[in-house]
């Protein structure tokens, strides 16, 4: 009787710790890597190699004064960080870290991640609108326009994988790649996914919503303290999720020789994250017209071609 | 069953708040809340794909569109003031409400009175896919034309500005 | 995994997701200083006084992309059941889906030709 409840509580606690730990670690990982790529040390004061820097940051943000700007829409301003963080957090529940190592093995696991992450788009618009600030409003609108434009190619590139695996269950998608990673036959879909996922998580070179040089800080211009921290945590959770889906759907998930499956999963995911950070260090920001026309005129047709090819090869 | 009751009640509360609030953005948020509760209802009834599709399409796409429009129209203006109520508004509203309630009852009562067991894996994706491409093939292709019509509608809507 | 057990996990996890920020906000309320002053509460502006209504009209283009997104989002929803059932459906379903996507591609090309995808 007590056993399933115990497993439930344990899984929830472990996963919660993992999500928060990962988000904090990614902040350090990104700052350190960017530092190295720009020939500077990066964070190196707090803890060994600056590893405790994010912990210090989170502590600092927690004890900061909570500022509600004048004329802001108070209930909405308070709700928006939650609307951003809760879906990002909830998406992790379906991630399989290894064979059987998954909290909720839903039939439609992949769709779950995609569905809850659309709620975050609403959070960005809400934050931008509630702040009563032109920079926040513009940033929120840009973020939303960008996310919806890249959502379509992102989903279409994953449809190719679903087609080949015949299931939306993430475990089955990994199992279907036992002989050949989907990144090989569906290289087009993989490229479209990587670009669209980078844009979807509002990362450079697609970081227009937060373009510091024009929009101050975009939708979270007016946010400070803990509320800002939750936007930040949500953003890094999505980076991890984007890389984890790339691993599960295209790079064979946890499969690999010698090492235990969990290690393989994390190694592949962090390799993808490294690539995304590398992009940020290399490429300049693009303009909004370039961004939108690239999404609709290049990525969307390419992802349709990918689906067509995958479907066609099923018959040959 | 108890869960269903609680969720249905919550959905109703959200719906009432949506109509009652004066702020258009708050109204939209209550509508999102309502959609999410509906999605949970679908999931508890075994239709998981429908539930998530509800979140994707309504809470995601349609509400983003609504929020864009609301924010666009309300930028630079204070909270909207409603004008004096029109004389025929109330009776017409009541008539429409009664009519739609009647239609709903007419449509669902038959199903409620003679419940039939759903086939196994009723809500599953594979079942849905097979039904879509066999029994409901024609409506499915019609949907494509409907979406095409919507696209043409978008083009017509925005052509005027140039 | 049984259907409802899976969603029980999801529900518990959602609850956790709400409790963490609520807890953090409570901690913030207990620990953080609170000294509001009118200057600090103003919305950000580059050194000028902030007008009380600080919103501005923005480009109607965003709205067009939202409209396009609704159409294509509905299309992708139809693709999921197709992709999952594909192996059992065979050539017929493949052709059907090509027709479905083809009709929408016509729409996309039309919008493209009408210069709807440009940002002006």
Task: Report ipTM (2 d.p.).
Answer: 0.80
pTM: 0.85
Model confidence pLDDT, tens digit, residues B138-161: 787 788 788 888 878 877 777 655
Q: List b or e across C64-89, with b for residues whose CB sees 16 or more CB atoms inside 10 angstroms.
A: bbbbbbbbbbbbbbbbbbbbbbbeeb
Residue A84: C-alpha distances to residues A81, A90, A172, A206, A236 (Å): 5, 11, 29, 19, 11
Cβ–Cβ under 8 Å, residues A208 and A144: no
| Contact (CB<8Å) C112/A297 | yes
* Neighboring chain A residues of B59 at a CB cutoff of 8 Å: 118-119, 122
Query: Is residue C107 over pLDDT 70?
Result: yes
| Contact (CB<8Å) C9/A90 | no
Rounded CA separation C99/A274 (Å): 40
The shares of helix, strand and coil residues in chain B, as percent rounded to the nearest 5, are 75, 0, 25
* Neighboring chain B residues of C56 at a CB cutoff of 8 Å: 75-76
Rounded CA separation B60/A119 (Å): 6
* DSSP H helices in C1-90: 3-31, 38-41, 61-89
Name the minimum distance, in Å, from the CA of B35 to any CA of chain A.
Answer: 11
Rounded CA separation B66/B24 (Å): 10
Nearest to B59 among A107, A112, A119 (CB): A119
Mutation target to probe the A interface, by most A beta carbons within 10 A, among C20, C112, C114 is: C20
Q: Which chains have at least 3 CB atom pairs separated by less than 8 Å from chain A?
A: B, C
Mutation target to probe the B interface, by most B beta carbons within 10 A, among A110, A111, A128, A166 is: A111
- When pLDDT is cut at 50, 70 and 90, the band that residue B162 belongs to is very low
Find the helix or strand (DSSP H, E) in which B50 lies: helix B48-54
Name the minimum distance, in Å, from the CA of B144 to any CA of chain A.
Answer: 15
Rounded CA separation B2/B83 (Å): 42
CA A82 to chain centre: 16
What is the residue range of C41's domain?
Answer: 3-113
Residue A90: C-alpha distances to residues A83, A160, A225, B33, C100 (Å): 11, 25, 23, 17, 33
Cα torsion angle, A161, A166, A167, A171, sign: negative
Q: Kindly state the tokens that stand for A165.
A: 């695996």
The pLDDT value recorded for residue A2 is 58
Rounded CA separation A85/A181 (Å): 32
| Contact (CB<8Å) B152/C58 | no
Phi-psi region of A218 (alpha: psi -120 to 50; beta: other; left: phi over 0): left
| Contact (CB<8Å) C14/A90 | yes
Name the minimum distance, in Å, from the CA of C30 to any CA of chain A.
Answer: 9
Torsion angle (degrees, nearest 10) of CA A38, A40, A41, A45: -120
Cβ–Cβ under 8 Å, residues A244 and A269: yes
Average of per-residue pLDDT across C69-80: 84
Question: Crossing angle, helix A2-37 and helix A261-282, to 10 degrees?
Answer: 30
Find the helix or strand (DSSP H, E) in which C95 lies: helix C91-113
- DSSP string for B93-151: HHHHHHHHHHHHHHHHHHHHHS--PPPTTTTSHHHHHHHHHTTTHHHHHHHHHHHHHHH
Cβ–Cβ under 8 Å, residues A86 and C17: yes
Torsion angle (degrees, nearest 10) of CA C85, C91, C96, C99: 130
Name the minimum distance, in Å, from the CA of B19 to any CA of chain A.
Answer: 17
Name the minimum distance, in Å, from the CA of B41 to any CA of chain A.
Answer: 15
- Local confidence pLDDT in tens for the 316 residues of chain A: 457 778 778 888 888 888 888 888 888 888 888 888 888 887 777 778 778 888 888 888 777 777 777 766 778 888 888 888 888 888 888 888 777 677 777 778 888 888 888 888 888 888 877 777 777 777 778 888 888 888 888 888 888 888 888 778 888 888 878 777 877 788 888 888 988 888 887 776 776 666 666 666 667 776 777 788 888 888 888 889 989 888 888 887 777 777 788 888 888 888 899 988 888 888 877 877 778 888 888 888 888 888 888 878 777 6
* Neighboring chain A residues of B29 at a CB cutoff of 8 Å: 76, 79, 126
Domain count, chain C: 1
Q: Kindly state the tokens that stand for B28.
A: 């939209």
The pLDDT value recorded for residue B118 is 62
Mutation target to probe the A interface, by most A beta carbons within 10 A, among B33, B55, B61, B151 is: B55
The pLDDT value recorded for residue C40 is 62
Residue A123: C-alpha distances to residues A73, A315, B32, C60 (Å): 14, 43, 11, 20
Q: Is residue C119 part of a domain?
A: no
* Neighboring chain A residues of C23 at a CB cutoff of 8 Å: none
Q: CATH number of the domain that C96 lies in?
A: 1.20.58
Q: Is residue C46 part of a domain?
A: yes
**CB contact, 8 Å: C103 with chain B?**
yes
Rounded CA separation C59/A160 (Å): 35
| Contact (CB<8Å) A75/B61 | no
Residue B18 vs residue A216, higher pLDDT: B18
CA B154 to chain centre: 20
The pLDDT value recorded for residue C58 is 64
Q: Is residue C68 part of a domain?
A: yes
Backbone angles phi, psi at A68, to 5 degrees: -105, 110
Q: Is residue C103 part of a domain?
A: yes
- When pLDDT is cut at 50, 70 and 90, the band that residue B76 belongs to is very low
Q: Which chains have at least 3 CB atom pairs separated by less than 8 Å from chain B?
A: A, C
Query: Is residue B75 over pLDDT 60?
Result: no
Q: Is residue C42 part of a domain?
A: yes
Give the single-character DSSP code of C115: T
Model confidence pLDDT, tens digit, residues B111-125: 666 666 666 666 677
The lowest-confidence range among A120-134, B138-152, C35-49, C69-83 is C35-49
- Count of alpha carbons within 13 angstroms of residue B85, beta-carbon side: 7
């Amino acid at each position: 009787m007590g056993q399933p409840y115990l497993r439930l509580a344990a899984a929830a606690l472990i996963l919660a710790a993992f999500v928060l730990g990962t988000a904090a670690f990614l902040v350090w990982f990104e700052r350190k890597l960017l530092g190295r790529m720009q020939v500077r040390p990066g964070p190196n004061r707090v803890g060994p190699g600056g590893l405790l820097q994010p912990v210090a940051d989170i502590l600092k943000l927690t004890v900061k004064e909570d500022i509600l700007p004048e004329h802001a829409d108070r209930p909405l301003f308070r709700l928006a960080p939650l609307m951003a963080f809760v879906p990002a957090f909830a998406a992790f529940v379906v991630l399989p870290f290894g064979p059987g190592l998954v909290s909720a093995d839903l039939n439609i696991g992949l769709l779950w991640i995609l569905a809850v992450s659309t709620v975050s788009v609403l959070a960005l618009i809400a934050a931008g609108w509630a702040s009563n600030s032109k920079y926040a409003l513009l940033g929120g609108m840009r973020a939303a326009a960008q996310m919806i434009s890249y959502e379509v190619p992102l989903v279409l590139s994953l449809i190719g994988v679903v087609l080949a695996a015949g299931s939306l269950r993430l475990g089955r998608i990994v199992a279907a790649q036992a002989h050949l990673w989907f990144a090989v036959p569906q290289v087009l879909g993989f490229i479209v996914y990587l670009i669209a996922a980078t844009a979807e998580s509002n990362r450079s070179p697609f970081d227009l919503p937060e373009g510091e040089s024009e929009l101050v800080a975009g939708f979270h211009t007016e946010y400070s303290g803990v509320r800002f921290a939750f936007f930040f945590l949500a953003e890094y959770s999505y980076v991890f999720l984007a890389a984890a889906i790339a691993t599960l759907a295209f790079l064979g998930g946890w499969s690999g020789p010698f090492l235990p499956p969990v290690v393989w999963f994390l190694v592949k995911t962090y390799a993808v994250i490294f690539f995304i950070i590398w992009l940020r260090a290399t490429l300049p920001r693009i303009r909004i017209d370039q961004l939108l026309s690239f999404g609709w005129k290049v990525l969307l047709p390419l992802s349709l071609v990918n689906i067509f090819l995958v479907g066609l090869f099923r018959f040959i | 069953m108890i869960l269903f009751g609680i969720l249905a009640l919550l959905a109703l509360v959200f719906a009432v708040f949506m109509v009652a609030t004066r702020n258009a953005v708050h109204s939209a948020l209550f509508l999102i809340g309502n959609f999410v509760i509906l999605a949970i209802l679908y999931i508890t009834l075994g239709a998981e794909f429908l539930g998530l599709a509800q979140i994707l399409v309504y809470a995601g796409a349609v509400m983003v569109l609504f929020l864009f429009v609301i924010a666009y129209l309300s930028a630079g203006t204070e909270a909207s003031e409603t004008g004096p109520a029109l004389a025929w508004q109330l009776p017409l509203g009541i008539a429409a409400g009664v009519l739609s309630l009647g239609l709903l009852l007419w449509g669902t009562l038959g199903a409620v009175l003679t419940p039939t067991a759903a086939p196994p894996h009723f809500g599953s994706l594979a079942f849905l896919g097979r039904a879509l491409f066999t029994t409901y093939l024609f409506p499915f292709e019609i949907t494509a034309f409907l979406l095409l019509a919507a696209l043409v509608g978008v083009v017509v809507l925005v052509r005027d500005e140039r | 995994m049984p259907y409802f057990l899976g969603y029980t996990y999801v529900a518990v996890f959602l609850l956790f997701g709400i409790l963490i920020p609520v807890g953090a906000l409570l901690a913030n309320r207990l620990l953080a200083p609170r000294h509001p002053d009118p200057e600090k509460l103003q919305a950000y502006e580059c050194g000028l006084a902030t007008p009380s209504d600080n919103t501005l009209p923005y480009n109607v283009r965003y709205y067009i992309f939202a409209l396009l997104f609704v159409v294509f989002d509905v299309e992708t929803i139809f693709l999921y059941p197709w992709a999952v059932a594909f192996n059992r459906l065979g050539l017929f379903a493949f052709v059907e889906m090509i027709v479905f996507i083809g009709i929408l591609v016509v729409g996309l090309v039309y919008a493209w030709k009408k210069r709807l995808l440009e940002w002006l």
